[in-house]
Chains A and B, each alone.
Chain A
């Protein structure tokens, strides 16, 4: 079955950096587009990034463009999100998701990032 296992996350100070990882299994990862989506405490879902199957195409929401970088390693069946210049408002649960049929068909368990001094 499809599994997306996320690691990383934690407490970081404003201005700091962090890298989130998402390891996939149960499907051909190198064929899959992947997304990152976050959810601030008590709030709704916010799409933040998207990477093509080869990694040649990436896109970001306005709220994170220039600060976050998505990448992938198809030899490790993993996608990454590098978070830089973190702000208090970046505090959220971050989810990776497999994109298929123009929808997020499978989701990781989520990882909490807290930005606080």
Chain B
């Protein structure tokens, strides 16, 4: 079973800064199978990125994904207060990482 490990556990940044979130797989996975989600308190998750780097419809271009093999990254440029949330990666529509909590100061 492939395990996804996200880092850091918590990230605290100011508006306008750039956030870099990491997702590392225990073995190599196809980029086609890596997705990122955003979840705000009390809400269902929302798909941000699929296929490691493709933005879902309606997602601002401040959000971008990259990576291959075992190392994947979600980058959020020009942080806004509304970006405060927990971010999860997922592989093959199955296993999720444990999440990274992003706090905007």
Contacts and interface: CB of A to CB of B under 8 A. Distances in A.
Given A95-B44, A108-B44, A109-B44, A102 B98 contact: no
Contacts, number: 61
B62 interface: no
B44 A110 contact: yes
A46 B96 CA distance: 6
A71 interface: no
Chain B interface mostly helix, strand, loop or mixed?
A: mixed
Contact of B45 (A33, A45, A99): A45
A102 B37 CA distance: 13
B88 interface: yes
Nearest to A59: B94
Interface string B29-53: 0001101010100001111001100
A47 B51 contact: no
B22 interface: no
Contacts of B95: 47
B36 to A, nearest CB: 9
Name the 5 nearest CB pairs between A and B, nearest first. A103-B35, A103-B50, A107-B44, A45-B96, A47-B94
